[in-house]
Amino acid sequence: MALVKFGGGIIEMRGSIGGTTFSRNSTGNYARAKTTPINPQTALQQTVRAAMAFLTDRWSATLTANQRTAWNLYASSVQVLNRIGESVNISGFNHYIRSNMIRKQYANPLVDEGPTVFEIPAADPTYSISASEAAQQITHTLDDALDWATEDAAYVFFFCGKPQNPQINFFDGPWRKAGFIGGADPGGPILPHAADSEWAITTGQRIWTYARISRADGRLSEKFRADTFCAA
Q: What is the CATH number of the domain that holds 183?
A: 2.60.40
> Cα–Cα distance between 209 and 188 in angstroms, integer?
22
138 shares a domain with 156: yes
Please state, in angstroms and as integers, the Cα–Cα distance from residue 146 to each residue in 143, 151, 188, following that order: 6, 10, 10
135 shares a domain with 169: yes
> Cα–Cα distance between 160 and 138 in angstroms, integer?
9
216 shares a domain with 142: yes
147 shares a domain with 203: yes
Q: What is the pLDDT of residues 33-91, one digit of tens each?
A: 666 666 666 777 788 899 999 999 999 999 999 999 999 999 999 999 887 778 899 99
Q: What is the pLDDT of residues 96-108, one digit of tens each?
A: 999 999 999 999 9
Q: How do beta strands 20-25 and 28-33 pair?
A: antiparallel
Q: How would you class 24 by CB atoms within 10 Å of its CB: exposed for 0-12, middle for 13-18, buried for 19 or more?
A: middle
Range of the domain at 13: 3-33
Closest CA to 163 of 216, 209, 210, 113: 209
96 shares a domain with 154: no
133 shares a domain with 209: yes
State the first-to-last Cα distance of the chain, in angstroms, to the nearest integer. Answer: 44
Q: What is the pLDDT of residues 170-207, one digit of tens each?
A: 998 889 999 999 999 999 999 999 999 999 999 999 99
Contacts of 13 (CB under 8 A, 6+ apart): 2, 3, 4, 5, 22, 29, 84
